[in-house]
Amino acid sequence: MPAATRAKRRSSVAPASAQKNKKNVPATPPPSQKKKKNVPATPPSSLKKRRRSGRNQPAKVESPAKEESEEDEEMEEAESSEEESGDEESGSDGDDSESDDEMKDVSPKPLVKSSTKGGSSEEESDSAEEESGNDDDDDDSDDENNKKGFTDENADWLKPKKSEKMQLMSSDEEGDDDDEFGGGKSGSDDDDEEDEEEEELLDVERQSRMIDAEMETERIEAEAELQLTISQQTSVYHLPTKEELDEDESGDRVVPPSELRARIEDVLEVLADFKSRREPGRSRSEYVERLSADMAELFGCLDELVEYFLMMLGPAETFEFLEVGDKPRPLVVRTNTLKARRKDLAAALMKRGVRLDPLAPWSKVGLKIYESNVPVGATPEYLAGHYILQSAASMCPVMALGPQPGDRVLDMSAAPGGKTSYIAQLMRNKGVIIANDLKQERQKATVANLHRLGVTCAVTCCFDGRKLGPRMKNSFDRVLLDAPCSGLGVISRDPSVKVQRTMADVYRCGHLQKELLLAAVDSLNAKSKKGGGFMVYSTCSVAVAENEEVVNYLLSKRDVKIVDAGLDFGKPGFTRFQNKRFHPSMALTRRFYPHVHNMDGFYVCKIQKLSDKRKDEAEVELDENGNIIKTPKADSDKKKKKKGAKADDEKKDKKEEVEEKKEDKMKSKFSKPPVKTGGAKKKKTHAKNTKPRRLKPTQM
């Protein structure tokens, strides 16, 4: 009998209950719908739904009759499937074997009927555990497939990105059951996502995040510091008592530099807001005296110099000036354009391991050196004369002078030849330069530098600059006077200035500078046809007694005026200092400070000679401080008037005496007869004629 008819009879004989339960039994798929190797498995979401439905619904216990009917139906369906698969190709044998194995896995296991109710509950729990175990096996298989990632050769170094389905699965397991896309995530998941995001970021993005975090911390610290400063500024600072100061001066306790610095900063804050921060009963002079003493002790400077700086610059700027004075200035070299260009020189020095940059926009020949592996003063380029070591401030006077090719220039204080060589460089070795200096030993360095740099238009000499004016009057088109000074602007190069220089030395230098300046103006030709008649006065000091006072003295003695130096940087000169008032044109002069311009302290003034006329010179005397004492014209006029009045009185007295004598003679004539004296008459002689008279020549 064929298998088809046999299956129909059994279906007709089977009870109705078995047909009803037929829906709950999973049917085996036909051969055409069998699972193949390359066909993807069911999606994770559907598996999750099945698991949830299986967990939420209780296990059903079926009767043995139902189980037997279900087994018969499965056998019939298996036989029909075998007959249909016989017509397929022989190559599908492997697939059929795999399908049979799957059928064995899918076929339900028979349940054993329990005798009691308790037994049924145990069976239900066992079935639930088996289902959960199957679910765990499925999860493990899915995880293994996901861990594999890439199957090609790049699997060793490529890391697959977590798929959205896996993310949804994790969210479904840990979130609500009703929402397919999951609810909230735990802290561990957030950390994992952050770690993955950081790994996916580029280096630039990671660095930018780090910078943002640093900026945020800096902002928080700045706010805290601001609150601290506000609280400190509103507080009142108390000066140390006399007992504490006596202990410090006696030497029982050594005050550390940190305490001195802190005290100086506190006093500066009080002086900045004196009304609200001062201690009751304390005057401003007490704070200034305490500040001056602390600064002198901290920086190792004389008290009188610190007091002078306080009067000239103020408390805050004086502290900055003295603090920067202990630090060295940057090393600067000037390119000698007579032999090389700055571009080529910079390239040659960089090859030797020198780190450098252009000096500033205002200089076309300067180079600033930060670091060098070789001594800068002993390179082949230096020995060849391609450059010279020169500070940035000492270039400014030559730039202000502006010499032209063919000029006659006088450098009154030339040693060691840095400015003289720069003048020759600007003149292109055309013209005449007189390089003068008082000491012959210093001129040796001048001659050596001029030879090394290739200067051929200079003549060196050794004379006192105060005598050059009368000897070489109106002989030069331009004059440069870098006068000898106290050196208060170059403390970083010579720290001994802070201890050795006194205010008496400063005033003594000012007197010498006035004499040199007058001689320099006398040697200048006001009627120069080459556009000359200019001179530059410069010092390496910041003292007013050596700068503004000297120039103001020149304005009162010669017919000159101050012109613009042509320097865009620098601070203007003082027009007033203490009780002294200077000419308004003094603002055209330029001052350079180390704490402002990172240069040596310097002063530059450009002067134009108008004519050779000299103003009325009064008698000049100097007091102990070096100030000029003038005898005014009114006093001299009064003296002249007094002398004239005395002469008139004397004449009147003489006339009266003569008249009295005449009256006496007239009286004697009438009272007494004249007395005759017998004797030889004396010859009249001319008292004025001391030489004998010439005899008239006789005619022959």
- Kindly list the catalytic residues: 540
408 three-class SS:
strand
DSSP characters over 171-206:
HHHHS-SS-TT--PPPHHHHHHHHHHHHHHS-HHHH
Distance, in Å, from the CA atom of 543 to the CA atom of 513, rounded to the nearest integer, reads 13
Please, are residues 607 and 583 in contact by the beta-carbon 8 Å criterion? Answer: no
Token couple for 47: 């598996």
Which alpha helices (H) appear in 86-200, and where do they start and end?
A: 93-106, 117-148, 164-174, 187-200
Token pair of 262 as six digits: 């802190």
Q: Give the residue from 607, 609, 469, 614 showing the smallest Cα distance to 526.
A: 609
Would you give the DSSP letter of residue 630? E
Amino acid found at 280: P
Residue with tokens 């005598």: 467
DSSP 463-521: --HHHHHHHTTT-BSEEEEE-----TT-TTT-TTHHHH--HHHHHHHHHHHHHHHHHHH
How many other CB atoms are found less than 10 A from the CB of residue 102? Answer: 14
Left, alpha or beta for 509 (phi > 0: left; psi -120 to 50: alpha)?
A: alpha
Residue in 335, 337, 338 with CA at minimum distance from that of residue 356: 335
Residue 421, token pair as written in the block: 């060589």
Beta carbons within 8 Å of 98's beta carbon, 6+ residues apart: 34, 35
DSSP secondary structure of 525-580: -TT-TTS--EEEEEES---GGGTHHHHHHHHTTEEEEEE----SSSEEPPSEETTE
Q: Can you give the length of the chain in residues?
A: 700
For residue 131, the SS3 value is helix
List all residues 6 or more positions away from 240 whose beta carbon is below 8 Å from its beta carbon.
263, 290
Alpha helices in 201-283 (DSSP H): 203-233, 242-250, 257-272, 274-277
Burial of 513 (0-12, 13-18, 19+ CB in 10 A): buried
Q: Are strands 576-577 and 571-572 parallel, antiparallel or unpaired?
A: unpaired
Round to whole Å and give the CA distance between 451 and 447.
6
User: Within a 10 A sphere around the Cβ of 70, how many other Cβ atoms?
Assistant: 19
**In this structure, are strands 576-577 and 628-630 parallel, antiparallel, or unpaired?**
unpaired
Give the C-alpha separation, 410 to 522, whole Å.
Answer: 12
Contact at 8 Å (CB) between 541 and 547? yes
Q: Is 18 in contact with 66 (CB distance < 8 Å)?
A: yes
- 266 vs 259, 263, 278, CA distance in Å? 11, 5, 11
Full DSSP string of 361-373: TT-SSEEEEEEES
Would you put residue 385 in left (φ > 0), alpha (ψ -120 to 50) or beta? left
